[in-house]
């Protein structure tokens, strides 16, 4: 029997240490157990409008657009897009889903030969790693599954989505301007752009107490804790600290609000843990700095202590992995590993009507 290579992973949602065991004779074509990542997708068109406010005229057309974002030898695009209920009739599972592809070229410049050492050898090959993206519209939670190694990240998804939304907003501007010119109340393009700005899009990985505690314990001295308040998609903060901080932010008209705790002799790690855990709703960017037991600098952000959970079954079927992802998401919600705040306004009925209109349009084509 071939000896296994143990690949260290991370601490899972329930706190257990996760490993990937791979044998030397294991086929690379075998399905592997995939991992669910969860983020809070922030999409704001200026100060007042969020993603669901422009779902019909901007967001859905952008998501289904046959458009590619390109950078040098790499292009990013969505394929197999759907706007559907992941569980029949359950508005909390109404989602935009797609396969997100990173189409690129891998280049080789040299190889190592046991006799000659480093040898110049240039070659290239095409590669198209992909991820599954599930955007739940009632909560703006992004469920994300990387299907293969080197698959595109959640941040790359957000950048591509922003690019598509930008194009869609500009088309919407032109449409509104044409309608205004044909009507009785003309409006300038400048005024239209002011009413519906190009959106800002970002994603904040949700954190779990278990993975956060594991990371905090790695600090010999935790010197710096920074918490930056993030914008919300009409989601109310669960924790009093963030409620009060956001209230003060609005009172003074701040565009950026940051709380920094600093002590070169060392902050109280338990206190920092409790402070940062309040951000597991995905409503703040967190950064911790200090040194580890070896005296090396250690820096952590939301990504380093984010929630990651293994999907139970190994399959390459996109539809099956979407089913597993939504089931695992609700399992994590039920066990309070992750939390979701209440919406400032309930638009679930509106979402259902938008979906019905979308499906009617699809059937009419």
Q: Give the containing element (helix H, strand E) for 228.
A: strand 219-229
Residue reference for tokens 């919300």: 232
Q: Classify residue 159: in a domain, yes or no.
A: yes
Q: Do 54 and 169 share a domain, yes or no?
A: yes
pLDDT tens sequence across 333-353: 998 888 887 765 667 788 888
Share of the chain residues as helix, strand and coil, in percent rounded to the nearest 5: 35, 35, 30
Give pLDDT, residue 13: 39
Q: Do 126 and 159 share a domain, yes or no?
A: yes
**Nearest-angstrom CA–CA distance, 291 and 294:** 8
Q: Do 63 and 103 share a domain, yes or no?
A: yes
Q: Classify residue 16: in a domain, yes or no.
A: no
* 286, 306, 326 - which closes a domain: 306
Q: Are 333 and 340 in contact, with CB atoms under 8 Å apart?
A: yes
Instruction: Tell how far CA 58 is from the center of its chain.
Output: 20
Rounded to an integer, the average pLDDT of 186-208 is 92
Q: Classify residue 6: in a domain, yes or no.
A: no
* 268, 283, 306 - which closes a domain: 306
Give pLDDT, residue 29: 54
| Number of domains comprising the chain | 2
Q: Classify residue 139: in a domain, yes or no.
A: yes
Give pLDDT, residue 19: 36
Q: Do 265 and 287 share a domain, yes or no?
A: yes
Give pLDDT, residue 7: 36
Provide the pLDDT confidence category of residue 246 given band limits of 50, 70 and 90: confident
Q: Do 44 and 179 share a domain, yes or no?
A: yes
Q: Do 133 and 56 share a domain, yes or no?
A: yes
Share of the chain above pLDDT 90, in %: 56
Give pLDDT, residue 336: 83
Provide the pLDDT confidence category of residue 14 given band limits of 50, 70 and 90: very low
- Residue 269 pLDDT exceeds 60: yes
Rounded to an integer, the average pLDDT of 100-112 is 95
Give pLDDT, residue 30: 59
Which residues are paired to 299 by β-bridges?
289
pLDDT tens sequence across 40-90: 999 999 988 999 999 999 999 999 999 999 988 999 999 999 999 999 989
pLDDT tens sequence across 168-189: 999 999 999 998 888 777 889 9
Give pLDDT, residue 15: 43
Which of 157-161, 294-298, 344-348 holds the top average pLDDT?
157-161
Q: Do 75 and 128 share a domain, yes or no?
A: yes
- Residue 22 pLDDT exceeds 60: no
**Nearest-angstrom CA–CA distance, 175 and 23:** 58
Q: Classify residue 24: in a domain, yes or no.
A: no
Q: Classify residue 5: in a domain, yes or no.
A: no
Q: Do 186 and 67 share a domain, yes or no?
A: yes
Q: Do 197 and 79 share a domain, yes or no?
A: yes
Q: Do 105 and 127 share a domain, yes or no?
A: yes
Q: Is the pTM of this model over 0.75?
A: yes
Q: Classify residue 8: in a domain, yes or no.
A: no
- Residue 1 pLDDT exceeds 50: no
Q: Do 258 and 181 share a domain, yes or no?
A: no
> Residue 245 is part of which domain span?
207-306
The residues, ordered by sequence, that sit 6+ positions from 335 with a Cβ below 8 Å of its Cβ are 13, 14
**Nearest-angstrom CA–CA distance, 93 and 347:** 14
**Beta 49-50 vs 219-229: how paired, if at all?**
unpaired
**Nearest-angstrom CA–CA distance, 68 and 53:** 25
Give pLDDT, residue 356: 87
Q: Classify residue 4: in a domain, yes or no.
A: no
- Residue 234 pLDDT exceeds 80: no
Q: Do 127 and 90 share a domain, yes or no?
A: yes
State the virtual CA torsion across 69, 317, 12, 28 in degrees, nearest 10: -90
* 269, 290, 306 - which closes a domain: 306
Chain mean pLDDT for the chain: 85
């Amino acid at each position: 029997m071939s000896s296994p290579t143990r690949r260290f992973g991370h601490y899972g949602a329930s706190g257990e240490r996760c490993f990937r065991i791979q044998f030397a004779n294991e086929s690379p074509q075998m399905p592997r157990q995939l991992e669910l990542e969860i983020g809070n997708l922030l999409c704001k068109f200026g100060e007042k409008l969020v993603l669901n406010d422009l779902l019909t005229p901007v967001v859905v057309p952008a998501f289904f657009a046959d458009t590619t974002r390109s950078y040098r030898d790499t292009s990013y695009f969505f394929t197999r897009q759907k706007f559907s209920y992941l569980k029949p009739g359950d508005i909390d599972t109404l989602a935009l889903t797609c396969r997100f592809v990173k189409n690129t070229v891998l280049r080789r410049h040299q190889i190592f030969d046991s006799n000659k050492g480093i040898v110049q050898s240039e070659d290239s090959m095409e590669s198209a790693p992909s991820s599954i993206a599930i955007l739940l519209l009632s909560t703006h939670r992004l469920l994300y599954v990387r299907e293969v190694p080197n698959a595109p990240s959640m941040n790359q998804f957000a950048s591509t989505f922003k690019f598509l939304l930008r194009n869609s907003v500009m088309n919407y501007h032109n449409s509104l301007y044409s309608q205004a010119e044909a009507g009785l109340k003309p409006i300038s393009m400048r005024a239209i752009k002011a009413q519906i700005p190009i959106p800002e899009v970002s994603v904040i990985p949700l954190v779990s107490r278990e993975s956060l505690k594991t990371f905090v314990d790695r600090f010999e001295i935790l010197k710096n804790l920074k918490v930056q308040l993030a914008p919300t998609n009409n989601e109310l903060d669960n924790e009093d600290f963030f409620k009060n901080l956001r209230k003060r932010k609005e009172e003074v008209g701040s565009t950026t609000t940051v709380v920094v705790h600093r002590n070169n002799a060392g902050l109280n790690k338990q206190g920092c843990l409790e402070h940062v855990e309040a951000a597991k709703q995905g409503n703040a960017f967190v950064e911790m700095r200090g040194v580890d037991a070896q005296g090396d600098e250690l820096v952590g952000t939301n990504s380093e202590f984010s929630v990651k959970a293994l999907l139970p079954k190994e399959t390459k079927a996109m539809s099956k992995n979407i089913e597993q992802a939504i089931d695992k998401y609700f399992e994590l919600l039920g066990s309070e590993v992750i939390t979701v705040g209440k919406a400032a306004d309930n638009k679930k009925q509106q979402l259902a009507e938008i979906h019905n209109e979308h499906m009617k349009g699809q059937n009419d084509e």
